[in-house]
C-alpha cells in the first residue's frame, strides 16, 4: 500500500516531498506499505491551517469539544482490528497484546479525556481575580514508533479537548495508525484545520514544524538526544515544550520481599513490547545474599518467553521494529559481555526471520557500565546486587534518567517508605498496576512535563489571571453580565 496523501485543513492532499518511505513488517522483514513525505511547503500549509482554525475551535464550548473527542473514540473503535494488525506488523508486539495495549487502551483514553471536560475547573476565583484556563495555541505533536497510537493519543486528545489545534508528525517507522486516526477524525466531523497530519523524518519535517513561527508549543516523545535538539530549537522562539524521553528504570527488591513475584513482574516489565518501552524495568536490584537465587529465577523465567510470529497466539516475545534497532541492541550486549558481564539467560534458537533479539539477562555487570546506564530499547535485563538499603536507593537513582521505578518490600508500607526516596516520575509498589489517569513523565534526562489524565490536559492549558474590582464580586449576579 502506497499512501501519497497527507491531511491538511480538513482534506486529503498529495504530499509534496520526494521521499517515499517504506514501512517494514518486523516479522517478515518485507515492506508492506510506503508513505510519501511532506515538504516544507506542506508543513507551512498545515501550521497555517491550524492557526486559522484556532480562534473558532478555542472558542467552541468545552462540552462540544468533548463530544467531538467521543466521536473520534467511536470512529477509532470501528477500526480496532485494522489498527491492531498494522501496529503489530510495524512494531512487532504480539497481536493479542497489541489489541489490548496498543489499541484498546488508547481508544479508552480518548473517552477518558472527554470525561475530563466536566472535571476541570476552567475558571476559578482567587481573591479578586478570575483565573481562566485557556488553550496554549497551535501544537506540533511529534510521536515515536514504539507505542504509535498510544503516544499520539496522549498528545492529540488532550490538546483538542483543551481547545488547541494540532499538526501531527508520527514516526516514519510506524505511521499507519496515525493515518487511520486521520480517517477517524474526518469521520467524526472535526472542523477543518483543527487536526492536520504530515509524514516525514524528524530532521526534515519534524524540524520544520519545531522551527515554524506559528507553532506555540511542541510536544515530543522520543530519544533524549532528539529531545535536547528539539528543546534547543524551540528555545530560540521561547515555545512551550513538553518532552517525554528515555528511561533506565530500576526494580528495587528490599530484604524480606517476595523475590519470586518481583522477578516475574520485572521480566514482564522489561520484555513487554520486546523491551521497546521507555519505562521498561531494565535493572533488577537485589540484596547480595539473594543474588544467586534471583539469577536462577531469572534464567527460568526468561526461558518461558517464546519468540515467533506476532500473529500467533502462543508468541510472548515478538521482533524488534528494524534491523538497525536489532543491531544496536546486540552491540550493547556484546560490549557488556566484552567488559566481563555474564549471560544468565539460556541460549535459544532465533526464528528463521524477523528482527529478533533473544530474551537476555546479564549478571556480573558494573553499575557504571553502558548496559546499566543507557537505554537499550530491547529485551535486555541486568541484575545488580547491593549491600544495604542505602546502596540500593543510590543504585536506583544512579542514572541520568528518572522515568519509572518499582519497589518490592515485605509490606506495602515498607516499600512505600523507600518509594518516596526514588527520583522517578512514577513508582510502582509491590506490583501495583499502571494507572492511566495518573501523571506520566520523569526527572532529569527523562524529560519535561507530564502526560495522561488531568495533568496531561493541563500541559496544553495556560492560566490567565483577570483582576476585577473587588466590588464586582459583591454585586448581584444579574449586574455582572
pLDDT by 10s per residue, the chain, length 481: 789 999 999 999 999 999 999 999 999 999 999 999 999 999 999 999 999 999 999 999 999 999 999 999 999 999 999 999 999 999 999 999 999 999 999 999 999 999 999 999 999 999 999 999 999 999 999 999 999 999 999 999 999 999 999 999 999 999 999 999 999 999 999 999 999 999 999 999 999 999 999 999 999 999 999 999 999 999 999 999 999 999 999 999 999 999 999 999 999 999 999 999 999 999 999 999 999 999 999 999 999 999 999 999 999 999 999 999 999 999 999 999 999 999 999 999 999 999 999 999 999 999 999 999 999 999 999 999 999 999 999 999 999 999 999 999 999 999 999 999 999 999 999 999 999 999 999 999 999 999 999 999 999 999 999 999 989 988 765 444 4
* The three grid cell numbers given for residue 459, joined into one nine-digit string: 500541559
In a domain, 204, yes or no: yes
pTM: 0.95
In a domain, 475, yes or no: no
* The three grid cell numbers given for residue 478, joined into one nine-digit string: 444579574
Is 103 found in the same domain as 223?
A: yes
Is 190 found in the same domain as 306?
A: no
In a domain, 200, yes or no: yes
For residue 474, what pLDDT is reported? 83
Contact, 215 vs 136, CB < 8 A? no
Is 399 found in the same domain as 290?
A: yes
Is 142 found in the same domain as 44?
A: yes
Taking the CB of residue 433, how many other CB atoms lie within 10 A of it?
6
In a domain, 232, yes or no: yes
For residue 476, what pLDDT is reported? 65
For residue 481, what pLDDT is reported? 41
- DSSP string covering 223-269: -HHHHHHHHHHHHTTT-EEEEE----EEEEEPTTS-HHHHHHHHHHH
Counting Cα atoms < 13 Å in the Cβ hemisphere of 122 gives 14
Is 287 found in the same domain as 217?
A: no
Where b means 16+ CB within 10 Å and e means fewer, 82-102 reads ebbbbbbbbbbbbbbbbbebb
The closest of 383, 402, 372, 385 to 344, measured between CA atoms, is: 383
In a domain, 477, yes or no: no
CA distances from residue 85 to 3, 73, 102, 145, 147 in whole angstroms, order as listed: 17, 18, 10, 15, 14
As a residue count, the chain comes to 481
Q: Which residues are catalytic?
A: 244, 278
In a domain, 438, yes or no: no
In a domain, 55, yes or no: yes
C-alpha dihedral sign at 29, 35, 39, 40: negative
Is 318 found in the same domain as 229?
A: no
For residue 322, the enclosing domain spans 249-429
Measure the CA–CA gap between 292 and 127, rounded to whole angstroms. 62
Is 166 found in the same domain as 127?
A: yes
Is 459 found in the same domain as 421?
A: no
CATH code of the domain covering residue 285: 3.40.309.10
Contact, 140 vs 212, CB < 8 A? yes
Is 369 found in the same domain as 348?
A: yes
Is 276 found in the same domain as 240?
A: no
CATH code of the domain covering residue 174: 3.40.605.10
Is 271 found in the same domain as 226?
A: no
Checking DSSP bridges between strand 281-287 and strand 380-386, what pairing results, if any? parallel
The closest of 281, 321, 324, 274 to 426, measured between CA atoms, is: 281
Measure the CA–CA gap between 167 and 159, rounded to whole angstroms. 11
Is 195 found in the same domain as 254?
A: no
Q: How many domains does the chain have?
A: 2
In a domain, 145, yes or no: yes
The closest of 464, 459, 472, 440 to 159, measured between CA atoms, is: 459
C-alpha dihedral sign at 331, 336, 342, 344: negative
Amino acid at each position: 500500500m502506497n499512501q501519497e496523501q497527507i491531511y491538511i485543513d480538513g482534506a486529503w492532499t498529495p504530499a509534496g516531498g520526494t521521499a517515499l518511505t517504506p514501512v517494514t513488517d518486523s516479522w517478515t522483514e518485507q515492506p508492506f506499505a510506503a508513505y510519501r513525505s511532506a515538504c516544507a511547503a506542506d508543513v507551512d500549509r498545515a501550521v497555517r491551517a491550524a492557526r486559522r482554525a484556532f480562534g473558532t475551535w478555542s472558542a467552541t464550548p468545552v462540552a462540544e469539544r468533548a463530544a467531538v473527542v467521543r466521536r473520534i473514540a467511536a470512529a477509532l473503535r470501528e477500526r480496532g482490528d485494522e489498527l491492531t494488525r498494522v501496529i503489530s506488523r510495524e512494531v512487532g508486539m504480539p497481536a493479542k497484546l497489541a489489541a489490548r495495549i496498543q489499541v484498546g487502551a488508547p481508544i479508552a483514553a480518548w473517552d477518558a479525556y472527554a470525561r475530563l471536560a466536566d472535571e476541570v475547573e476552567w475558571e476559578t476565583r482567587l481573591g479578586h481575580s478570575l483565573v481562566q484556563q485557556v488553550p496554549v495555541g497551535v501544537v506540533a505533536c511529534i510521536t515515536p514508533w514504539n507505542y504509535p497510537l498510544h503516544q499520539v493519543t496522549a498528545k492529540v486528545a488532550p490538546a483538542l479537548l483543551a481547545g488547541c489545534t494540532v499538526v501531527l508528525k508520527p514516526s516514519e517507522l510506524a505511521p499507519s495508525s496515525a493515518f487511520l486516526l486521520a480517517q477517524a477524525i474526518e469521520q467524526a466531523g472535526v472542523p477543518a484545520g483543527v487536526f492536520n497530519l504530515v509524514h516525514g523524518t524528524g530532521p526534515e519535517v519534524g524540524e520544520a514544524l519545531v522551527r515554524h513561527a506559528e507553532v506555540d508549543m511542541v510536544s515530543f516523545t522520543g530519544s533524549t538526544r532528539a529531545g535536547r535538539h528539539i528543546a534547543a530549537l524551540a528555545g530560540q522562539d521561547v515555545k512551550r515544550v513538553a518532552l517525554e524521553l528515555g528511561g533506565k528504570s530500576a526494580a528495587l527488591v528490599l530484604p524480606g520481599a517476595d523475590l519470586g513475584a518481583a522477578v516475574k513482574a520485572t521480566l514482564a516489565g522489561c520484555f513487554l513490547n520486546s523491551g521497546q518501552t521507555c519505562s521498561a524495568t531494565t535493572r533488577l536490584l537485589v540484596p547480595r545474599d539473594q543474588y544467586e537465587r534471583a539469577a536462577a529465577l531469572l534464567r527460568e523465567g526468561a526461558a518461558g518467553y517464546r519468540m515467533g510470529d506476532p500473529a500467533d497466539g502462543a508468541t510472548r516475545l515478538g521482533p524488534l521494529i528494524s534491523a538497525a534497532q536489532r543491531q544496536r541492541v546486540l552491540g550493547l550486549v556484546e560490549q557488556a559481555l566484552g567488559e566481563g558481564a555474564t549471560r544468565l539467560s539460556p541460549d535459544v534458537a532465533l526464528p528463521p526471520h524477523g528482527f529478533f533479539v533473544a530474551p537476555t539477562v546479564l549478571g556480573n555487570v558494573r553499575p557504571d557500565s553502558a548496559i546499566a546506564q543507557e537505554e537499550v530499547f530491547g529485551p535486555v535485563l541486568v541484575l545488580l546486587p547491593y549491600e544495604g538499603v542505602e546502596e540500593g536507593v543510590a543504585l536506583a537513582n544512579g542514572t541520568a534518567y528518572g522515568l519509572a521505578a518499582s519497589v518490592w518490600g515485605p509490606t506495602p508500607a515498607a516499600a512505600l517508605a523507600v518509594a518516596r526516596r526514588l527520583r522517578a516520575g512514577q513508582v510502582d509498589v509491590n506490583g501495583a498496576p499502571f494507572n492511566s489517569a495518573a501523571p506520566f513523565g520523569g526527572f532529569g534526562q527523562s524529560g519535561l512535563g507530564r502526560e495522561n489524565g488531568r495533568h496531561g490536559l493541563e500541559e496544553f492549558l495556560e492560566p490567565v489571571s483577570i483582576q476585577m474590582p473587588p466590588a464586582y464580586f459583591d454585586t448581584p449576579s444579574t449586574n455582572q453580565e
